[in-house]
Amino acid sequence: MAEIELLPKAELHLHLEGSIHPSVFLELSQKYQTGYDSHTTGEVSQKLFQYENFPDFLATYKVVCEHLREPADYLRILDWLAGYFVRENIWYAEIIYSPAIPWNFGRDGKQILVSLLEKSRKIQSSQGTIIRWILDCVRQYGSESARQTAELGHEFREQGVVGLGLGGDELSLEMKEYQEVFNWAKAHQLFIHVHAGEIGDPQQIWEAVRLLGANRIGHGIQAARDPDLMSYLRDHAIGLDICLTSNLKTGAWTPISENPFGLLYRRGVPVTLNTDDPGLFQVSLSEELQKAVQFFDLEEADVQRILLQGVHSSFLPYQEKMALMKRFQEEFNRLSLSPDDA
Ligand SMILES: [Zn+2]
């Protein structure tokens, strides 16, 4: 098998806030004197960025968000991600940003988005990584905040925003609270991305599809408990963003060897592999793929199929998707033809 690091990749499930590296977190803590200054990077990794359970993870997420106060703080994370994309050979990324978080602190979520879009265009022209954005509504914040997020997404649809998402606490407000906003967004040409079936039951995924018109599901591992749902997702080409290490570290599904990924893949459900939060979980996309190979006995052809699925399940326009899949295939061919080290 060609080395995983060398293969071209797409990453579809990547929260900007959760991409904060421990060293960037410490920089911001020093900047705002939030009391973590005395910690080392190792201590942040070993203590703060470790989670007892899902609520504990959400609590850390909140601590991180309290350190993101102006566009420069968000740009610092995007800077780190630009390097990560090069190291991981990620050619296409959909990054999730929640403007409702700065709004909740009384900050300018739109100005942050404008800075992020400008910076992501620069990254694309300097290193070639194609970056698109999903604006995420925070489930516990309610429909008014979601409406503002949808309108912001619509305003910047031509500048790199491709989708409206629903994230946050799956067990908080009901999905139907968001039906009107998401139907509006879909009618206004935004793709729909919904976190569902991570810790909630398969019904959450049904509702994401039926009520919100989800084009893709964040996580969705609980679909493995419902054969009809698996068939539906397969037949309607609704992808699941699977995040093995995230599931392990939040306790959503342990151990990795028993993650439903293997079953979902064998049933033909369109699955991709993702880190979710490479900073908070300290995992790279290559490591995720490596774990999948190890625990689910994947062959080279399976790895290539999953990587191509990453482009196929993306929110790129059809023509661009086909062109990028062709480039991936050419690169796979090139890598498999190049002789191994003699
Ligand atoms: Zn997520």
Quote the CA–CA distance of 30 and 21 in Å, as a whole number. Answer: 14
What's the whole-number average pLDDT of the chain? 96
Q: How far is the CA of 14 from the centre of ligand 1 (A)?
A: 7
Is residue 231 assigned to a domain?
yes
Q: Which contiguous run of DSSP H or E holds residue 92?
A: strand 90-97
CB 22 within 8 A of CB 308: no
Number of domains within the chain: 1
Q: How far is the CA of 175 from the centre of ligand 1 (A)?
A: 16
The angle, 0 to 180 degrees and rounded to 10, between the axes of the packed helices 22-32 and 71-88 is 170
| Assigned domain for 122 exists | yes
Output the CA 115–ligand 1 centroid distance in Å: 22
What does the pLDDT look like over 262-300, one tens digit per residue?
999 999 999 999 999 999 999 999 999 999 999 999 999
Q: Is residue 273 part of a domain?
A: yes
How far away, in angstroms, is 218 Cα from ligand 1 center?
6
- Does the residue 41 lie in any domain? yes
Question: How many Cα atoms are found within 13 Å in the side-chain-facing hemisphere of 54?
Answer: 12
In a domain, 325, yes or no: no
CA of 280 to the centre of ligand 1 (A): 12
Strand order in the sheet with 9-15: 9-15, 90-97, 130-138, 161-167, 191-196, 216-219, 239-242, 271-273
| Ligand 1 centre distance from Cα of residue 333 (Å) | 32
330 within domain boundaries: no
Distance 274 CA to ligand 1 centre (A): 9
Please give the average per-residue pLDDT across 127-136, as a whole number: 98
Q: How far is the CA of 94 from the centre of ligand 1 (A)?
A: 12
Q: 149 versus 1: which is more confidently predicted?
A: 149
Ligand 1 center–CA 93 separation, angstroms: 14
pLDDT digits (tens, 9 = 90+) for 27-78: 999 999 999 988 999 999 999 999 999 899 999 999 999 999 999 999 999 9
Asked if the structure places residue 318 within a domain, the reply is no
Q: How confident is the model at residue 341 (pLDDT cuts 50, 70, 90)?
A: very low
What pLDDT digit, counting tens, does each position of 106-118 carry? 999 999 999 999 9
Asked whether residue 15 is assigned to any structural domain, the reply reads yes
Global pTM reads 0.96
Residue 13 CA, ligand 1 centroid: distance in Å = 6
Q: pLDDT tens-digit profile of 210-237? A: 999 999 999 999 999 999 999 999 999 9
Domain range spanning residue 177?
Answer: 4-313
- Tell me, what CATH number does 263's domain have? 3.20.20.140
Residue 89 buriedness (CB in 10 A; 0-12 / 13-18 / 19+): middle
The answer on pLDDT for 342 being more than 50 is no
Give residue 81 CA to ligand 1 midpoint distance, Å.
16
For residue 166, give the amino acid letter: L
